[in-house]
Amino acid sequence: MRKISPSVLNVDKEKLVPYINKLIEWNVTNVHYDVMDNIFVPNVALQYKEIEMIKKECLKHTMDIHLMVKDVFGYYKMYKDIGDILTFHFEAMSQEDLQHLIAKARHDNVKLGLAISPETNVEVIRPYLKYLSLVLIMSVKPGFGGQKFIDASYDKVFALKRMIQEEKKEIIIQIDGGVKLDNIKYCFDAGVDLAVVGSFLVENFSEEIIKKLLK
């Protein structure tokens, strides 16, 4: 699978609905929603009310929610019925909490993703892989859009791809941060299924660019 999941973090609030609807008209199936708590990362992003409004007002699409938050269980409860895939950070919780979160998601039939920050070794994912729907490799430090892609991320994607093949399970590999026209092909070639594209698409918003990103 080679798809994009545009991040709307840097879209003006009043333009969110038309921006998302345009994406869907252009056959984009996934949109990436960043949620931040100003604790796990020093920033805030979309609020629950805004995501609720988007779900109500926008054309139907897969909502992948990237939760950069410390209170994993509080946010899980809040978002479990609104998002299609909920992705939390490995670094935000203890191993015990992660096991507990996995059990909850299995019980509730919620698709769970796990994100790792640039400083985290991809091997930490291995024991949990079979319970996940998605793994998100952060290619920038989480918290802000518009940062430069960290090249070491390609090797992490390669390694993850191998791990997933060994597990013989369908798990989406997502990459997030600094993805642009000049590096997306390398991401896909390394094994990425779903590339988050934030500020690059906000600055170059056209159907042609989307086609080029997927070429």
- Give 113 or 178: the residue with its C-beta nearer to ligand DX5: 178
Closest CB 63 distance from Zn ion, rounded Å: 13
Tell me: does residue 66 bind Zn ion (CB under 5 A): yes
Apex CA 6: angle with CA 5 and CA 12, to 5°? 155
User: Active site residue: 34, 37, 64, 193, which one?
Assistant: 34
What character string, x for contact with Zn ion (CB under 5 A) and - otherwise, covers 10-49?
------------------------x---------------
Q: How far apart are CA 81 and CA 200, in angstroms?
A: 30
Apex CA 185: angle with CA 180 and CA 187, to 5°? 85
* Binding partner of 199, given ligand DX5, Zn ion, none, CB within 5-8 angstroms per partner class: ligand DX5
- Give 7 or 30: the residue with its C-beta nearer to ligand DX5: 7
Q: Which of 145, 162, 147, 136 is nearest to 66 (CA)?
A: 136
Residues that bind ligand DX5 (CB under 6 A): 7, 9, 32, 34, 66, 140, 142-147, 176-179, 196-200
Exactly one of 133, 143, 157, 176 binds Zn ion (CB under 5 A); which one? 176
Query: Which one-letter DSSP state was computed for residue 44?
Result: B
- Cα 129 to chain center, whole Å? 16
Place of tokens 């950069």: 68
CB atoms near residue 80 (< 10 Å) = 16
Residues 100, 68: contact at Cβ < 8 Å?
A: no
Query: In the annotation, is 176 catalytic?
Result: yes
- Give 24 or 118: the residue with its C-beta nearer to ligand DX5: 118
Query: In the annotation, is 155 catalytic?
Result: no
Q: What value does the CA radius of gyration of the chain take, rounded to a whole number of Å? A: 16
User: Active site residue: 37, 64, 176, 193, which one?
Assistant: 176
- Give 2 or 100: the residue with its C-beta nearer to ligand DX5: 2
Q: Token pair for residue 81?
A: 């019925």
Closest CB 168 distance from ligand DX5, rounded Å: 29
What residues are annotated to the active site? 34, 176
Binding site for Zn ion (CB under 5 A): 34, 66, 176
